Amino acid sequence: MFAHRMEQVRAAMADRGLDVLLLSVGPDLPWLIGYEAMPLERLTMLVLPVDGQATLVVPALEAPRVVERGDLFTLAPFGEADDPVRMVATMVGGGSTRVRLAVGDRTWARFVVDLQSALPGASWHRASTVTGPLRAVKDSAEIEALRRAGAAADRVIGALQAGEVALIGRTEAEVAADLGSRLIAEGHAHVNFTIVAAGENAASPHHEPGSRVIRPDEVVLCDIGGTMLSEDGVGYCSDITRCVATGAVESEISTAYDALRSAQADAVAAARVGTSAGGVDAVARARLTEAGFGERFIHRTGHGIGVEEHEDPYLVRGNEELLVAGHAFSVEPGIYTPGRWGLRLEDIVVATANGPDLLNLVGRELMVVES
Ligand code: ZN
Ligand code: ZN
Ligand code: ZN
């Protein structure tokens, strides 16, 4: 699998006339070789020439964590007094070589800046031009890893909807911590976020859960996600949003929720191979506009998901990219009324030859949870 990805990456580099790919911290590296660099002040960098052997430059103290894959790369550990930037510069030709380099989008600026001074003749490009389109199209093992993560997140939401997660009288932060530990208990390796937004706080889509105490008769928006390891040890993400009501809610909110639910269902149904990513956004937006909520749907409809929570393809107005089988993404329209309430409904979907494949199956109704 990793060998196949490396072949695909090299072919894409050749297409774009790139000589060397440089990957450091961030999701490209684990996706490509199964090793995730520690986000440290010490440099970790895979030096992958379009032809020839790849080398993983790694701090000597991190080397024991690397699963050696001689078929994929050779290991070049460096000591505390060595200069890893110079090592990388030498590997790509050194000095004024006119090499075309693609560097990982998340690489610390301190290393990019130092590499740029060490390689004044090089031209610099973003690695995501190579890795983004490849990572966006999931193979069957990746889809199964996403499905397992989705099922685990579904079980946490199922417990929430069943009233097993106490809400009334607790703070958003307490409920967020509870949902996070449930994500771990259900098999996630780590929690990426747990948004718990009560009442008026739900009008802020990425609200940070705080000391606000949850009261009866309001809506609580919960948007949770974590990373679950696949059999190859690579992490794949979950991401789901459900709203629950702690009692009776105003008819305005139920009306809005019904509109949201049907807009989300229509957008999911539209997420077919051959539809553009922006076209799916247009469906959700048109439905909410018809229902009178268009102005209050203030973000894009969705984002790709994989080793990263947000990646290509983005379901946003203007994205003409056509969906292909294996694209995995969220469909998450929302309606936000500042100062009063907010609603969002989010599922992960995979585009397949047989239509959209939903990875989240837990109920989508606005459940009343009086606990
Ligand atoms: Zn978000
Ligand atoms: Zn989400
Ligand atoms: Zn999302």
pLDDT band at 94 (very low <50, low <70, confident <90, very high): confident
Question: What pLDDT shows up at residue 201?
Answer: 98
What structural domains and CATH numbers belong to the chain?
Answer: 2-134 (3.40.350.10), 137-368 (3.90.230.10)
Between the CA of 345 and the centroid of ligand 3 the distance, in Å, is 10
Q: Which ligand is nearest to the CA of 308?
A: 3
Q: Is the pLDDT of residue 95 over 90?
A: no
Between the CA of 255 and the centroid of ligand 2 the distance, in Å, is 22
pLDDT 10s digits, 335-347? 999 999 999 999 9
Q: pTM for the full model?
A: 0.95
Between the CA of 122 and the centroid of ligand 3 the distance, in Å, is 37
Q: Find the mean pLDDT for residues 52-67.
A: 95
Point out the least confidently predicted range of 94-103, 188-197, 273-282, 341-350.
94-103
pLDDT 10s digits, 251-286? 999 999 999 999 999 999 999 999 999 999 999 999
pLDDT 10s digits, 134-155? 999 999 999 999 999 999 999 9
Average pLDDT, the chain: 97
Q: Which ligand is nearest to the CA of 224?
A: 2
Between the CA of 78 and the centroid of ligand 3 the distance, in Å, is 39
Phi, psi of 246, deg, nearest 5: -90, 35
Between the CA of 116 and the centroid of ligand 3 the distance, in Å, is 35
Between the CA of 241 and the centroid of ligand 2 the distance, in Å, is 5
Q: Is the pLDDT of residue 12 over 90?
A: yes
User: What residues have their beta carbon closer than 5 A to ion ligand 3?
Assistant: 239, 330
pLDDT 10s digits, 203-252? 999 999 999 999 999 999 999 999 999 988 999 999 999 999 999 999 99
